[in-house]
Structure 1
Amino acid sequence: MLQKFLFAFGLIGLLHSCQSTNQILSKSDKRAEIMTTIANDETMSKEMMGILMKSKSGKMMMMKEHHAKMMEKMKEDPEMMKNMMSEMMEKANNDDAMMSGMCKSLMENEKMMNMMEKMKEKKIEKKEDHKEHH
């Protein structure tokens, strides 16, 4: 009887400790304190980065940050952007999987599709202008 009571009491304690973790993290001041502690400790920071890189949301966050930095660099240096785009297109022409991935990404991005449509219209206009001059 005592063993059953202790087992039940231990199980309730275990379940309560899981719930209290969520309760602690739901309080923004405590959550900020925990994150600051992790950020200020080299070992814990490395552990957290490992956990983030294993999670889907962590990978997405890192990719978005990397993408934003690349876009900023390309805005600052249009020649670099032109060179990178040329290199990327060259590689994509030789790699079916990369081309397929790029096409899928472009089709999912409305801004890119609009930009490509505008580029296509300009190209058609240039061809028509060229024909009128000959």
Structure 2
Amino acid sequence: MSEWKKILLSILLGFVGVIIWNIYYDSYEKSYTIGKVVGKAVGMKSGTVIEFEFYYQGRKIKGGTGMGDYSLRAGDRYVVEFSKEKLDLSEALLYYPVPDTVDVEVPWDGWPEVPNELKIYRRKRMELFGLYDWIYGD
């Protein structure tokens, strides 16, 4: 197999993998809560991952999300999207920071969507080289 065919096949498999992952992730009902950054981990292949924790029904849940181009430090709070059926499927929405000055009561089961009082702090998304909001209009 030629070098170009290997590269093309790798790109195609990458796209298919992303599509399959998104279909799997979107198949679960999502809830939202507030999580706190507890640290960073650097992997050889995965880049920098932030480690965060959040509470759901009184249980502490830990997760990790790719840091991307966001500037973060331990103790920062962000909105977390998670699946009620499979709690290890969670993601810190780093474009929804929760300032320390905001005191909001989180329901026991989380919110069905990001509350309006937190939406006002939304930042530009940094995925796709900073073009995510422009492409998807979200």
Structure (1 or 2) with the greater helix fraction: 1
Structure with higher Rg: it is 1
Shared topology, TM-score over 0.5? no
Taking structure 2 as the reference length, what is the TM-score of the superposition? Answer: 0.28
Structure (1 or 2) with the greater strand fraction: 2
Taking structure 1 as the reference length, what is the TM-score of the superposition? Answer: 0.29
